[in-house]
């Protein structure tokens, strides 16, 4: 039987439509949508399906996510640095590996039970629903991966709003996670985002009623915004971590640990050593030990002034400083080249003997530059450390063998993380005990977030029954 030409064109049109539909479906199934509204709607529908998943099924998906993070770590670490122009590929890789290995899953969701003459009451950790997660440029992919695991472990789905300056690497991680979830038998769109995140899309996400919790990992501006969003919010904000060294410290180890922490991912982490306060008695010895490391270069006053001119923006009217973003997360060698020093092969850290009032001390530089302030004694070092931390209550570090001094500083500085005799990153489980996270919620008090932070307490009471004694 021969087909009429109009019948043929109808069939072709139908086939093309089907192909088009399929293409569209494939396009959206990676969790990345054209608009924020679509991303939220998809995560909302996905959460309805996900809410019937057992803990065992959630864990199966999380195991697949962990594997996907490791499998894609090198490629995504490269992408992060190429896209944002910040940080170091080797350290971004280590952060992703740490995320895969030490981000808690469902095991932290512990039920509480009260039993007594009146029966049994259970308190369990329930999902919020859809969580909006705003992520930073300084640690894009590891934050998506870490929050992704924690939020799904808590039974939620998540809509991500990555920093526009690092959205490709953030979306690459999100796509890799969704692919792994799907291959492990999970539903589409547990993690969603938009093709081109912007300030506007973040704002519309915060206002959408289907978002039941907002989590901001970033600077003070965005933390303030989520706290006034009118919904449950977790704010993980800026730090300016001081490291104190007293006369009882193991100076060789202190020098090594401080440089290791300060240079990790070119000082981008919010927990990284940003300034050192060192007692007079060991000041010279510490600097000498640091300089024994060939990757450390000491800036003289003239060079420091040139670096300051480059990396800081001075508002002369108000006499305030802000950071020149073009230098955030850059290699020490690159900073030196920009002040005309071209023989800086192998340099990873710039140190400088600074006054405490110097902007290198006071501003959160996020560059491998360590100002070192000399203090009369431990009491003065502690007083200045508290001032320099600016009440962020984020992270502080101390090198000492004097238990009384360590205790005094831990109490006075009042930070979420306090690291003793180790590089700062030991405080997030890298070379130290405990789990990891890249969302450290000082302002709202959850501390090192995990699946529990992303759940709501629900109580169920059975009166007069279910006691066994
Ligand atoms: P940022 O504050 O510029 O951006 C963070 C996120 O907020 C991004 O997604 C950005 O798009 C969004 N954002 C910022 N201003 C906004 C606005 N006006 N409206 C809507 N969205 C807005 O921070 P960054 O430079 O990407 O990251 C560095 C900062 O984050 C540092 O201060 C660092 O200490 C902090 N940080 C904190 C933690 C923590 O766990 N506490 C972790 C990583 C980074």
Judge whether 108 and 437 are in contact, CB under 8 Å. no
Q: How confident is the model at residue 16 (pLDDT cuts 50, 70, 90)?
A: low
Q: What does the DSSP 8-state code read for residue 145?
A: H
Average pLDDT over residues 84-93: 98
With 70 as the cut, is the pLDDT of residue 201 above it? yes
102 CA from centroid of ligand 1 (Å): 23
Q: What is the pLDDT of residues 406-462, one digit of tens each?
A: 999 999 999 999 999 999 999 999 999 999 999 999 999 999 999 999 999 999 999
With 60 as the cut, is the pLDDT of residue 20 above it? no
Domains in the chain, CATH or no CATH each = 32-237+449-459 (3.40.605.10), 242-427 (3.40.309.10)
With 90 as the cut, is the pLDDT of residue 8 above it? no
Judge if pTM exceeds 0.95. Answer: no
With 90 as the cut, is the pLDDT of residue 347 above it? yes
Q: What is the pLDDT of residues 30-83, one digit of tens each?
A: 999 999 999 999 999 999 999 999 999 999 999 999 999 999 999 999 999 999
Judge whether 153 and 104 are in contact, CB under 8 Å. yes
265 CA from centroid of ligand 1 (Å): 17
211 CA from centroid of ligand 1 (Å): 19
**What's the pLDDT score for residue 431?**
97
Average pLDDT, the chain: 95
Pocket of ligand 1 from Cβ distances under 6 Å: 134-139, 161-164, 199, 202-203, 217-219, 221-222, 225, 236-239, 270, 364, 438-440
Distance CA 175, CA 308 (A): 40
With 60 as the cut, is the pLDDT of residue 26 above it? no
Whose alpha carbon is nearest atom 20 of ligand 1?
A: 199
Interior/surface letters 301-322, b for 16+ CB within 10 angstroms, e for the rest? eebbebbbeebbeeeeeeeebe
Q: Phi and psi for 342 in degrees, rounded to 5? A: -100, 0
Average pLDDT over residues 347-374: 98
With 70 as the cut, is the pLDDT of residue 22 above it? no
**327: Cα separation from own chain's centroid:** 20
**What's the pLDDT score for residue 27?**
47
CB atoms within 10 A of CB 13: 10
**What's the pLDDT score for residue 468?**
79
**What's the pLDDT score for residue 294?**
87
**What's the pLDDT score for residue 469?**
77
Average pLDDT over residues 235-254: 98
**What's the pLDDT score for residue 134?**
98
Distance CA 79, CA 84 (A): 8
Using most ligand atoms within 8 A of CB, pick from 136, 168, 193 the residue to mutate for ligand 1: 136
């Amino acid at each position: 039987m021969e087909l009429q030409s109009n019948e043929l064109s109808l069939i072709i049109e139908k086939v093309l439509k089907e192909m088009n539909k399929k293409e569209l479906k494939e396009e959206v199934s990676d969790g990345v949508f054209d608009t924020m509204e679509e991303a939220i709607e998809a995560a909302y529908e996905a959460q309805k399906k996900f809410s019937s998943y057992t803990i065992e099924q959630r864990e199966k998906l999380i195991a697949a996510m962990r594997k996907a993070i490791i499998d894609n770590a090198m490629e995504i670490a490269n992408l992060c640095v190429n896209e944002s122009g910040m940080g170091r590929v080797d350290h971004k890789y280590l952060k992703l590996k740490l995320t895969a290995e030490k981000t808690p899953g469902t095991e932290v969701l512990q039920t509480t039970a009260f039993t007594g003459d009146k029966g049994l009451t259970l308190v369990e950790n329930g999902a919020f629903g859809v969580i909006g997660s705003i992520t930073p440029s300084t640690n894009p992919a590891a934050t998506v991966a870490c929050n992704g695991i924690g939020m799904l472990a808590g039974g939620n789905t998540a809509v991500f709003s990555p920093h526009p300056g690092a959205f490709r690497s953030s979306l690459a991680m999100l796509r890799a996670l969704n692919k792994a979830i799907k291959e492990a038998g999970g539903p589409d769109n547990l993690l969603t985002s938009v093709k081109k995140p912007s300030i506007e899309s973040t704002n519309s996400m915060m206002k959408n009623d289907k978002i039941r919790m907002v989590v901001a990992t970033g600077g003070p501006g965005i933390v303030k915004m989520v706290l006034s969003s009118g919904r449950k919010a977790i704010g993980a904000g800026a730090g300016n971590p001081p490291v104190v060294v007293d006369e009882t410290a193991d100076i060789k180890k202190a020098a090594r640990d401080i440089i290791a922490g300060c240079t990790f991912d070119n000082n981008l982490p919010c927990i990284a050593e940003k300034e050192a306060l060192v007692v007079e008695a060991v000041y010279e010895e510490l600097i000498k030990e640091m300089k024994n490391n060939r990757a450390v270069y000491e800036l003289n006053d003239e060079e420091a002034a040139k670096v300051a001119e480059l990396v800081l923006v001075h508002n002369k009217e108000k006499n305030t400083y802000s950071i020149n973003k073009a230098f955030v997360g850059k290699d020490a060698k690159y900073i030196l080249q920009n002040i005309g020093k071209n023989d800086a092969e192998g340099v990873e850290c710039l140190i400088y003997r600074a006054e405490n009032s110097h902007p290198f001390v006071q501003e959160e530089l996020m560059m491998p530059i360590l100002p070192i302030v000399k203090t009369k004694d431990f009491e003065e070092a502690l007083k200045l450390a508290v001032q320099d931390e600016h009440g962020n209550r984020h992270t502080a570090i101390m090198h000492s063998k004097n238990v009384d001094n360590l205790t005094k500083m831990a109490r006075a500085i009042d930070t979420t993380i306090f690291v003793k005799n180790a590089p700062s990153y030991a405080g997030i489980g890298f070379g130290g005990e405990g789990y990891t996270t890249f969302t450290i919620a000082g302002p709202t008090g959850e501390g090192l977030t995990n699946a529990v932070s992303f759940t709501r307490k629900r109580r169920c009471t059975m009166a007069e029954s279910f006691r066994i004694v």
